[in-house]
Chains A and B, each alone.
Chain A
Amino acid sequence: MSIANKLQTLPKTAIYGILILCTSLPLFFQIPLPNNPDQASKDFFREMMTLDASKPVLLSSDWTNSTRGESKGQMKSVLRMFMRRGQKFVLYSTADPQAPQVALDVIAEVNRERIKKNQEPYKRFEDYVVLGFFPNAEAAINGLANDFKATVKGRKDFPVGKEATDVFQSPVLKDVDSIKDFQMVVVVTASKTSNFTVERVYGKTKLAFAVTGVMGPETKVYYQSKQLVGFVNGLKGAFDIEQLMEKGLNVDSSASFRDDTHPAPVEGFKGDDNVGQGTRYFPTLHFAMALMIIMVILGNVGMVLAKKDSSKKELGGR
């Protein structure tokens, strides 16, 4: 078999084996990477850190464990920011029946971090309310946008140590009549719910999204036309936010962590637990991408060599 053929018929199992090595070995090491956060991530961070803690935020969690690699890191950073700033929030899901439980697991994880540091855990019903799952995302978001009270009426949540209670008895929802009473809607999503939110909620309150890398290009359109105040895109976005939480914005002289369009300094949480999936996975992703680039080059070299071989044979035949 010629080199050209060999390059084009590398055994699939060997490639998968190398890929598993590339995505496993770097996880055991801490590999520091330089970073220049995207403008969209900076805007997302600034908006989250300058929210009025006395007014609630509506948080849509529309992801499950199938996109844990990207979405959990984003969700954890959002929750860390909320809890450290004492921001009250209302959680709901429209994409998948599993999504509320997955979000509750992350809340429990962040609460365990707080307990370890002798901080008060965030209390369900008092600090945040879980509205649960709403089927038919488009209709549900339309309902929340146009008549929040009627859409949520009858929903119950669980105060700590008590039985299920009407959500409107929670202090979090005491001043809420419509979606305009939330100062922002934050959507952590791996599905079309981001589009539905723009379609139905835009113009009523501020919108900020954290989306998977697949959805990044379509979401950027909304950000550029200022329908979103900021957005976090995939693993790079998760990495950006974790770095911004550590270093702040316009705080030190680093050019990467400066935003000339909004020069006011925004402090992060220096020295706190800011590391998450973004910082852990982003260096490893580079090894996987390098492998893919090498494979694409090898395949193309093989193709060019095969073409040359066949044209030589044709000339020889004549």
Chain B
Amino acid sequence: MSYPFIKALVGVLATVGLYSVLYKENKFYRFFEHVFLGLATGWTIFVLWAEVLKPSWYEKMMGTPSVNGGPATDGQWAYILLLPLGLMAYFVFSKKHNWMSRIPIGIILGLWSGQQVQVWFNTYGPQIKGAMKPILPSAFSSFTVPANASAVDVYPSQALSNLLYIVTLLSVLSYFLFSFEVKNKAIIKFNMLGRYLLMIGFGAIFGSTVMTRFTLLIDRMYFIWIEFFQQQVLGRG
């Protein structure tokens, strides 16, 4: 048995083991669940040291020799001060000293809060600008947008789409007017429209989610039947 065959066989056993929970909870499933968790944890610990703590903290503190003609670096002792600061976070488990964990958490929260104005504008600024759409047509030579259309012209089909967009936007926003009681019948109906449009949106999101889940199952079936059975066992392809 070759190494690729053994590797694929273990993958097939793990896949079948994890899917066996669909029938009922069993030891085969439990075994592979623990193997998976153990592997993921071990890998994470290694990567956190090798790719994060070692280059970003330990080597900066201790210094590094010249490698492949690159510059050697001096160690900077001040990096040691990060260790007690980081360890303070673990005092969250101590009833007596948990106040110490608030120091690193406070620093992180302060840094994060200070950046949120820029983050908010980067995220929503272009979306607010993009929501300003013309709802009146300016070109009538064709109902739909012709191939050589100018970017400034608004054709009737575009205006209609934009109108639908604006109605959806405003009705959905009006649905979230919770600060005061809405008594106007027209606004109540407009709210209701927003609610139905939200439901349509959630339906579309649910549909996408289902498609993703099916794709993941199809991939596992491809692994079992084509990559293992056809390619490794039968030796085709």
B3 proximal to A (CB < 8 A): no
Spot the interface stretch: B51-59, B82-90, B188-196: B51-59
**Cβ 8 A contact of B130, one of A16, A135, A226, A284:** A226
Interface residues on chain B, size class: 35 or more
Docked CA distance A281–B219 (Å)? 8
Report yes or no: B219 in contact with A221, Cβ–Cβ below 8 A. no
Spot the interface stretch: B25-33, B120-128, B170-178: B120-128
- Which A158-175 residues sit within 8 Å CB-CB of chain B? 159, 162-166, 169
**Cβ 8 A contact of A225, one of B126, B149, B204, B216:** B126
Min CB distance, A213 to chain B, in Å?
4
Min CB distance, A263 to chain B, in Å?
8
Docked CA distance A284–B222 (Å)? 10
Instruction: Indicate whether A289 sits within 8 Å of B214 (C-beta atoms), given known contacts A98-B43, A198-B122.
Output: yes
Report yes or no: B47 in contact with A97, Cβ–Cβ below 8 A. yes
- Which A254-310 residues sit within 8 Å CB-CB of chain B? 260, 263, 277, 280-281, 284-285, 288-289, 292
Report yes or no: A97 in contact with B43, Cβ–Cβ below 8 A. yes
Interface residues on chain A, size class: 35 or more
- Which A133-164 residues sit within 8 Å CB-CB of chain B? 133-135, 138, 142, 154-156, 159, 162-164
B152 proximal to A (CB < 8 A): no
Q: For A189, list chain B residues within 8 Å (CB).
A: none
Q: Mark B210-224, 1 if CB is under 8 A from A, else 0.
A: 111011111111101
Instruction: Indicate whether A216 sits within 8 Å of B208 (C-beta atoms), given known contacts A133-B47, A133-B52.
Output: yes
Nearest B residue to A138 via CB reads B112
Report yes or no: B225 in contact with A24, Cβ–Cβ below 8 A. yes
Report yes or no: B52 in contact with A134, Cβ–Cβ below 8 A. yes
A230 proximal to B (CB < 8 A): no
Of the candidates A159, A162, A213, A263, the one having the most CB atoms from chain B within 10 angstroms of its own CB is A213
Q: Mark B32-63, 1 if CB is under 8 A from A, else 0.
A: 00000000100110011001100110011000
Chain A residues at the B interface, C-beta cutoff of 8 Å: 12-13, 16, 19-20, 23-24, 27-28, 66-70, 72, 97-98, 100, 132-135, 138, 142, 154-156, 159, 162-166, 169, 195, 198-200, 202-203, 212-214, 216-217, 221-222, 224-227, 233-236, 260, 263, 277, 280-281, 284-285, 288-289, 292
Known: A23-B214, A202-B123. 8 other contacts (CB 8 A): A12-B22, A154-B56, A155-B51, A166-B67, A166-B71, A199-B123, A213-B208, A233-B208
Nearest first, the 6 A-B pairs at minimum CB distance are A69-B219, A225-B130, A97-B47, A213-B212, A132-B51, A69-B215
Can you list 19 residue pairs at the A/B interface with Cβ under 8 Å?
A19-B217, A27-B221, A27-B226, A68-B216, A98-B40, A133-B51, A135-B48, A159-B68, A165-B67, A198-B123, A202-B126, A203-B122, A217-B208, A225-B130, A235-B212, A235-B215, A281-B215, A284-B218, A288-B214
